[in-house]
Chain A
Amino acid sequence: MPKHSVLFRIPTPELLPKPRTGFIIVTEQQKFRIMLYFAILTLLAAFFFNSPLEIFQGLWRIIKSPSILLTDYMVVGNIGSAFFNSGLLMLGAILITRHNKVTLSGPIVAAIFTIGGFAFFGKNLYNVCPIMAGVLLFAKLRREPFRALILPALFGTALGPLVSQITFGFALPLTISLPLGILSGLVAGMLLPPLANHFIQFHQGYNLYNIGFTAGIIGMLFISVFRALGFQIPPVSQVLEDHTIGLLVYLCLLLLSMAAIGFWYARKSWRNMTHLWRMPGQLVSDYINSDGFGLVLLNMAILGCVSIGYVLFVGSSVSGPVIGGIFTVIGFGAFGKHLRNTVPIMLGVFVANYVFVWDVSSIGSVLAALFATTLAPIAGAYGVIPGILAGFIHMTVVMNVGYLHGGVNLYNNGFSGGFVAALMVPILNSVISVIFPARKDFNQ
């Protein structure tokens, strides 16, 4: 078996990459403006769907929603208010980044798009604040600058529904539920940084949504306590249907402008895309640093097209959660994902639907296919076959772990992906050490 077969390869620390040259250096100011453009485009899209009054009323309903998985804000509020909520949270994340003088690197771009995506189904202006405040409090107690913990703060908003569910979902008087919800968010925020740093070793960086795994554990802890106190969390499934065309127009506009800006800044270096595609993608793969912002925008646009293509190919419709999934895949195009390492994972999920009991076009299955790409580094490091296997196994695991945290962790696939990566990577390494006795030290 060739060592670097596309189908199965042995990850080895290859020669360090030569610093990329030839790409146009995009200044922080330019990157800031480009990210602002994406946020404002999303914000303004709201007004093509609803009037300002309808948007305001919808936003109020969104803020008062328990927001647990799977709550489509396009149903709870309306389409316009979901877009407005997404644009606002993206703007907030960009401004927090800017205020803290943090470089717009791959993980930050991924975090901004992830926040924007999940603002279509679970994050809102109310429920993200206590989580971020908790991380800020932890930073103050540790006497560290907030910017040192900005990644757990941004990604940690996955636990937003914990705040909303406690505040609005347990039918407690607001005088009790409001402080309890905020306090829970603060505590969860304070737990995130140390646990995120610890759990990353569990899957060795092969699960891109590391905070998803951490948030799953924290969510499980909280929900176990509430269930022990007699509170119940019935499953929710509110998903918009039959508005695919309008939403597709917005997505096309977003991706076309992303590709156009990418081409402008990449110029002739777009030919270097094959360099990016050769990268395994495990944490920490900052593509902006290694390949330039222009090429990364192109990569993000390509991934967006592939994601939309998958949704339409399986005959599903575009809704809030689906846009959230597409946004997340796009965002991680700056931080670990590319065409070569995501398609095998999606293929694995696709195949699993035909073996098991799920309908390939159902919302759960489509979201699994999009978010399963958290395991893209397995395909990138070990090849196509392990990648397909990872997607296949992920599909079965993700359908079982949601109960543990009761839907208060929005990154359910990150939670599942942590288990799958922690399971698969040592097994793959053992297989390699058996097949190739010369590599019997292959255990990390």
Chain B
Amino acid sequence: MKNQAKSIKILEELIRYFTCNGIVDLAVRYTSTNETLIISVSGETATPPKDIAELESLLKTPRRLEFEEYYWSLLGASTTRNELDILGTLVDDARVTYENGIMTVRVERME
């Protein structure tokens, strides 16, 4: 597994988003190979967060190597701010869905 520390930070940042929005019963799927990292976090919520569209937009920010190497260690559980814009520059693809009371965020990163 490459970049294990970065992968864990990505997961931390996603969990931070869910918990800050009051979604605390989470299911995490973490799949890492030498080529790809796929993280999917799901949680039950009666109403989706108001900024769900903005979340997807941020996560779809084009990958930026120069940001990634310098700033990735800022990712992680913080109660004072989010670092989703940095997260967006670390992942190649992202999908945010809300169906049947379940919110799911899935991110994919090519190593």
Contacts and interface: CB of A to CB of B under 8 A. Distances in A.
Interface string B15-43: 01000100000000000000000000000
Contacts of A144: 69
B79 A197 contact: no
A145 B65 contact: yes
B81 A200 contact: no
A15 B51 contact: yes
B80 interface: yes
Contacts of B74: 200-201, 204-205, 283-284
B51 A442 contact: no
A292 interface: no
Majority secondary structure of chain A interface residues (helix, strand, loop or mixed): loop
Contacts of A12: 79-81
Contacts of B66: 102, 105, 107-108, 147-151
Interface residues of A, number: 41
B54 to A, nearest CB: 4
Interface string B52-76: 0011011001001111111111100
A148 B68 CA distance: 7
Contacts of B65: 145, 147-148
Interface in A130-149: 144-145, 147-149
A78 interface: no
A11 B85 contact: no
A286 B71 contact: no
A18 B54 CA distance: 6
B85 A284 contact: yes
B80 A148 contact: no
A162 B97 CA distance: 53
B77 interface: yes
Nearest to B58: A16
A315 B36 CA distance: 59
Nearest to A15: B51
A230 interface: no
Contact of B64 (A105, A152, A197): A105
Contacts of A148: 65-66, 68-69
**The 3 nearest A-B residue pairs measured at CB:** A16-B54, A16-B51, A148-B65
8 contacts: A13-B81, A15-B50, A148-B66, A151-B69, A152-B69, A283-B71, A289-B85, A442-B80
